[in-house]
Structure 1
Amino acid sequence: MFYRLYVRPVPPFADLINEPENQIFNWVLVDASGDAQAQGTTDTREHIEQTLAQNALDHVRLIGLIPGEEVLFCFADIPAKQARFVRQALPFAVEEQLAQDISTMHLALGNREDKGFRVAAIDHQRMGLWSELFTDWFHARLEAIYPDASLLPVSEHDWAICLDGDSALLSNQRGEWLKMQVGNLMMFADTLAMPPDDEVVTQVRVAAYGTREDLHAQAPVLKNLQSSGRLAVSLQTLELMPLELLVHAHHHHLCSPINLCQGTYALSGDGNSTLRAWRPAIAVACLWFLLQVGVEAGMGIYYNQQADELRNQAMAMYRQVFPNDRQTHAGNVRRVLEGQLRLAQQQGPNADFLALMKQAGHQYSILPGKESVEFNTVNYSRSRGQLVVDLRADSFARLSALRNGISGSGLNAEIGSVVNESSGARGRLTISGG
């Protein structure tokens, strides 16, 4: 004999991200015939799990009921019949009916009606939290998650209303559901009084469920609905709590709720699924993958070591030719050599005054914001092969950019005697042939 456990979170809701264990529930445990075997109100998950353990119940099917106001109902008019094509077209079919970005919504597909497919839409983040809340219970396995209002029985009426404290759950023959404050029912009376499509009726049948306390507390509102003249309201008294009504309707197929556990939140099968036959092959494939990753990683380390060795050899050869160059490293040695060769081709083995001025002038001409750079004095030492320029700029960054540009052309460039002033910075730029 199998058992179903219906659990419904009780507001105010706990912090489902950081403290889900503090959430309390109303719950009902029913057997295969639909008879309640145990129930409780405002109990924790731990208490419910202990009850299942004490009664030696295992593999109980868990049904989670979440607040109906968090799940939106809409229709999707999709001509396709194959499930794969329907799901591909679903986001485009309901996008205009939802105020939220469709990419942030989880869409669950229901039965097909005259107006199209029934669809339930909920925020992805909220659905993730509810799914996690109902998953991995001891002695119970999640079977479905439904909006609570979608489980109201409407088989014999056009509308069903269930009073739940200050709130009211509503559902109709088309399977639409919603939740509102009881005080707003009168504003919704005109919508309730609209007959089903293509039907002419004098009155719309409405079943109002509630405990004696709720029916008595909301008597003025119900009386106003009854006196509207267009609604035939029948009062149905519940012995305990609204959850029992929802459980009864679901077990006896008096409603057509949409299971939200689809797509990303679809539930995995049990141990007898066809996946079990493929487990050995999957294990071999995983082992081969790990071995391949290990081989690739080892080859990567080997080639990296070879590259390091080649770079060290290249730098050793460069140091033999240019022993006094301490600025060049393995990362820029190619660029420096190309610059030096290019300069040597243009000017010969030694860079004279004109060559240095040409390169410095070229770098100045392409310098961003060059208008803020001023040349005060220019001195050239033939014996040292150096060009010394006193500069002033609006910032040291501008001087540094000029130096880097000259260095990138294959010359040696250094800035010294830097003085930062309120109007900018001045310094001495020394350029040599490298």
Structure 2
Amino acid sequence: SVIDRESGEEIAAGLVVGERPPLEGVERALYLAPSSDLLVRNLILPARGDSEARQAAPFAIEEEIAGSLEDTAIAVGRRRADGSRWVHAADKALVERWQRIASSINVRPAWLLPEAMALESEAGDLLIADEDNDVVFLNRTGTGPVCGRIEAEPSAILFPELLAQLRPGSVAMTPRVRLPGLAAEAAPKTLHAMAPVDFARAASGLPDAVLRDLPALLGNRHSASTDWAALASPFRRAGVLAIAALVLFAGFSLGEGLYLRSEAARLDLRAETAFREAFPDVTRVVNLEAQLRQRVGTSQGGGSDFLALTAAFAGLLEDGATLNIDALRYDAASGALSVSATYPGFDSFEALRDRALSAGLLIEDEGARQDGAQVRGEFRVRFSR
């Protein structure tokens, strides 16, 4: 869509990839990525500058990345007044596709942001809005995932547990979002309605100051107002010849080898220093990568693991299950859901366990008792891997 920022008027809509929109007078381009495809974190990194922040970011989010670090593009935003930085990560193949789209539109500056940021102008600690058949949320509590996108059906199970973990003081949601009854201790103090959200129109109102803090996941070329690479193209051939002469004259290969060895030693020392500052109780560093993975794994909250496990369990219940869930708790230390449920008989529970194994889940029985015509049971759910 092409939207006038001052009036909010939509000048053009319904454009498809490959079709060039009317761009006369367009000052910036915003590309809204599904919050389920873009990992977003707001972190205070142990770094003194942008370069060190880029080195530290992969360690901070490694456990939350679905794929390997080699297949993931990671970008870090500039340091804000409170010391925090935005960190964005996504699959490299997806990022390359987004970059091709941005290059075809060719409007600068261009920013890639999660669709949930379109809710920034709304008030509340937790903002929940429907988008097509999904539910998008933006979390301002300071704990848990910053934003996300969940299919509408399992959200009825996910959001009560999410609210119990985040404990937001105020929640705003669009009329089509439905939440089941919440326990008194998990219910927010304020719950109010929010008008249906046109995400493209809402995002167009974001001020430039907010966008400048975002990571340049599309590349610095797109986030800059001026295409310096294009301006420098007439001088490219002369520059290449000059660099080639310099390389031959200086013996670049030998110098590069010495430099890389010294840089590797310096980075290893900085990484160990940052690790010791983050975990002062460590007296000996033997295998920095393994020790860091162990410490991060035991210290972080596991918000993405909770969402993945609960979504898988919700899908299991939709597949013809006859259970009624009475209570649901997540234990980050063990990575398991503790479930209290009511079901018609013990055979129903055994059938659920069999289906769980086929779905990659393991259900551990923690006791059950007959209550009239029903059975009340406790069990734990975890991934079988």
TM-score for both structures, normalised by structure 2: 0.51
Q: 1:180 aligns with which of 126, 150, 170?
A: 150
Task: For residue 223 of structure 1, report the CA deviation from its aligned partner.
Answer: 6.1
Question: 1:30 maps to what in 2?
Answer: 4
Tell me how far apart the structure 1 counterparts of residues 228 and 220 of structure 2 sit (CA, whole Å).
18
Q: Is the 8 A contact 1:105 1:124 kept in 2?
A: yes
Question: 1:43 maps to what in 2?
Answer: 15
Identity fraction in percent: 17
Q: Deviations over 1:196-238 (max 9, x none)?
A: 6xxxxxx73111135xxxx2xx5xx246469997133211223
Q: 1:161 aligns with which of 121, 128, 141?
A: 128
Secondary structure in structure 2 of the residue aligned to 1:160: strand
Q: Deviations over 1:280-299 (max 9, x none)?
A: 76543335678999xxxxxx
The one of the two structures with greater contact order (alpha-carbon pairs below 8 A, sep at least 6) is 2
Task: For residue 169 of structure 1, report the CA deviation from its aligned partner.
Answer: 0.6
Tell me how far apart the structure 1 counterparts of residues 10 and 40 of structure 2 sit (CA, whole Å).
33
Q: 1:235 aligns with which of 187, 193, 196?
A: 193
Task: For residue 129 of structure 1, report the CA deviation from its aligned partner.
Answer: 0.7
Letter in 1 for 2:195: T
Aligned residues: 241
1:14-413 aligned within 5 A: 27-31=1-5, 33=6, 35-40=8-13, 42-45=14-17, 49=21, 52=22, 57-74=24-41, 76-110=43-77, 117-137=85-105, 140-141=107-108, 143-153=110-120, 156-173=123-140, 174=142, 176-187=146-157, 188-195=159-166, 204-209=169-174, 215=176, 218=177, 221-222=178-179, 224=181, 230-231=187-188, 232-238=190-196, 241-248=198-205, 250-251=206-207, 259-262=214-217, 266-267=221-222, 269=224, 273=228, 282-287=236-241
Tell me how far apart the structure 1 counterparts of residues 246 and 53 of structure 2 sit (CA, whole Å).
40
TM-score for both structures, normalised by structure 1: 0.46
Q: Deviations over 1:367-419 (max 9, x none)?
A: xxxxxxxxxxxxxxxxxxxxxxxxxxxxxxxxxxxxxxxxxxxxxxxxxxxxx
Tell me how far apart the structure 1 counterparts of residues 226 and 211 of structure 2 sit (CA, whole Å).
28
Letter in 1 for 2:222: L
Letter in 2 for 1:70: D
Whose radius of gyration is greater, 1 or 2? 1
Letter in 2 for 1:245: A
Distance 1:246-1:272 versus aligned 2 partners, 3 A rule: closer
Task: For residue 88 of structure 1, report the CA deviation from its aligned partner.
Answer: 2.0
Q: Cα RMSD between the aligned structures?
A: 4.0
Tell me how far apart the structure 2 counterparts of residues 291 and 114 of structure 1 sit (CA, whole Å).
46
Task: For residue 258 of structure 1, report the CA deviation from its aligned partner.
Answer: 6.7
Task: For residue 80 of structure 1, report the CA deviation from its aligned partner.
Answer: 1.8
